[in-house]
Structure 1
Amino acid sequence: MYHRYDGLIFDMDGTILDTEPTHRKAWSEVLGRYGMQFDLEAMVALNGSPTWRIAEAVIALNGATLDPHELAREKTLAVKAMLLDTVRPLPLIDVVKEWHGRRPMAVGTGSESAIAEALLAHLGLRHYFQAVVAADHVQHHKPAPDTFLRCAALMGVAPEKCVVFEDADFGIQAARLAGMDAVDVRLL
Structure 2
Amino acid sequence: MYDRYQGLIFDMDGTILDTEPTHRKAWHEVLARYGMKFDETAIVSLNGSPTWRIAQAIIASHQTDLDPYYLAAEKTRAVEEMLLDSVRPLPLVEVVKSYHGRRPMAVGTGSEHRMAERLLRHLGLFQCFDVIVGADDVQRHKPEPDTFLRCAELINVAPENCVVFEDADFGIQAAIRANMAVVDVRKL
- Normalising to structure 2: TM-score of the pair? 0.99
Unaligned runs of 5+ in 1: none
| Alignment match, 2:64 | 64
**How far apart are residue 63 of structure 1 and its match?**
1.1
**How far apart are residue 15 of structure 1 and its match?**
0.2
| Alignment match, 1:39 | 39
**How far apart are residue 96 of structure 1 and its match?**
0.3
SS of the counterpart of 2:9? strand
Alignment identity in percent? 72
| Alignment match, 2:11 | 11
Unaligned runs of 5+ in 2: none
Cα distance in 1 between the residues matched to 2:118 and 2:43: 24
Cα distance in 1 between the residues matched to 2:31 and 2:25: 10
Greater Cα offset, 36-45 or 177-186: 36-45
1:84 to 2:84 alignment? yes
SS of the counterpart of 1:84? helix
Greater Cα offset, 36-45 or 105-114: 36-45
Cα distance in 2 between the residues matched to 1:82 and 1:54: 19
SS of the counterpart of 1:48? coil
| Residues 9-68 of structure 1, C-alpha deviations (whole Å, 9 max, x = no match) | 000000000000000000000000000012111211100000000000000111111000
Cα distance in 2 between the residues matched to 1:114 and 1:129: 14
SS of the counterpart of 2:139? coil
| Alignment match, 1:22 | 22
| Alignment match, 1:140 | 140
SS of the counterpart of 2:142? coil
| Alignment match, 2:93 | 93
| Alignment match, 1:153 | 153
| Residues 60-91 of structure 1, C-alpha deviations (whole Å, 9 max, x = no match) | 11111100000000000000001100001000
| Alignment match, 2:102 | 102
SS of the counterpart of 1:9? strand
**How far apart are residue 3 of structure 1 and its match?**
1.1
Cα distance in 1 between the residues matched to 2:49 and 2:18: 17
| Alignment match, 1:170 | 170
**How far apart are residue 143 of structure 1 and its match?**
0.2
| Alignment match, 1:128 | 128
| Alignment match, 2:2 | 2
Cα distance in 2 between the residues matched to 1:23 and 1:144: 23
| Alignment match, 1:55 | 55
Cα distance in 2 between the residues matched to 1:172 and 1:59: 26
**How far apart are residue 125 of structure 1 and its match?**
0.4
The root-mean-square deviation of aligned C-alpha atoms, in Å, is 0.5
Runs of 4+ deviating beyond 6 Å: none
**How far apart are residue 114 of structure 1 and its match?**
1.4
Instruction: Give the aligned residue type for 2:79.
Output: V
